[in-house]
Structure 1
Amino acid sequence: MSKTPPSITPETLAQQQARADRLAAALRDNLKRRKQQKRGRDDAADEALGPDATPSSP
């Protein structure tokens, strides 16, 4: 008993591609937002340390 896979119509393919595009855009936006938040935290930490707190090289 072999079943044939359901046929995928061009409309279904277009819907799947649109969904994949939306998800990819959401992931890119999320990554950009997370990077920006990290930069903000790093800047705030640098300001909290003050100008005297420069890392020394070994």
Structure 2
Amino acid sequence: MGSTFNGLVGLIILALDIWAIINVLKSSSEVGIKILWILLIVLLPVLGLIIWAIAGPRGDVRL
């Protein structure tokens, strides 16, 4: 039971990290800034995601 839950949490974190990286790539920030944000998200998946959610660049929002 525990390993299934851990696997599900890991999959959710992976999906959120991919979503955050896509949003960073869509943002209008400079290339160097994008690379730093992507490295932060990849190297620190949970903490990087939280930091990005608070202070990171967002992609262009189109309604």
TM-score tier after normalising by the smaller chain length? 0.3 to 0.5
TM-score scaled by length of structure 2: 0.44
Structure with greater Cα Rg: 1
TM-score after normalising by structure 1: 0.47
* Larger relative contact order (Cα-Cα within 8 Å, sequence gap ≥ 6): 2
